[in-house]
Chain A
């Protein structure tokens, strides 16, 4: 059973469209990270959010941590083919000594 559920599992869109990826849990997290992974490579950290209700922007990417710190979302504006990849959310919990709990990921494909 995954502690973090991501949706959708797959997303295929045209260049220029907007999209939102969701990361949900029934558990509270002390922090939430988003990673992006390309085929055959390691995940790359995009952002960390730690405060309930926090919103962070990274160019066309907007990340939000839910008020109750149980969920998060990633919104991409005007998607580009270079945004294609596997997006993973990962949560940290103070009781588990540093390990992160990863969602299964959302595979995003942006077509030119």
Chain B
């Protein structure tokens, strides 16, 4: 158990809908990262938050957005869903937000999103 929790575990929805994925980082971790993993693309970095502020952006679509709240939990919002958005979505957390120290990330169990 990494200490990172994600809900829900599974999500099935229809095209055009909007969903929210939730992540609680390990106790004491300030940074939260969101990743998308599909069979053909591997693990793709979406976005990072550090202590409530957006820190780095990866291949995140405009239809997707995220935020980190004062209690440090984070939510990833996916809207106007398409079939191709079906994937595993992982949240990870780490203590530091920079690579000045080595950045060890601890992953949650993921949310499997299926868009029908």
Contacts and interface: CB of A to CB of B under 8 A. Distances in A.
Interface of A: 2, 30-31, 33, 35, 40-45, 48, 50, 88, 90, 92-105
- Kindly name the residue among B42, B43, B98, B112 whose own CB sees the greatest number of chain A CB atoms within 10 A: B43
Interface residues of B, number: 31
Contacts of B104: 33, 45, 48
Contacts of B108: 42
Contact of B90 (A33, A42, A96, A98): A42
Given A45-B105, A99-B45, A102-B45, A94 B100 contact: yes
Given A92-B99, A94-B100, A97-B56, A102 B106 contact: no
Contacts of B58: 99
Contact of B96 (A2, A40, A98, A100): A98
Contact of B31 (A90, A98, A101): A98
The 8 closest A-B pairs by CB, nearest first: A42-B107, A31-B102, A92-B99, A104-B42, A92-B103, A99-B56, A94-B99, A98-B97
B1 to A, nearest CB: 10
A44 B103 contact: no
Contacts of B56: 96-99
A97 B102 contact: no
Nearest to A94: B99
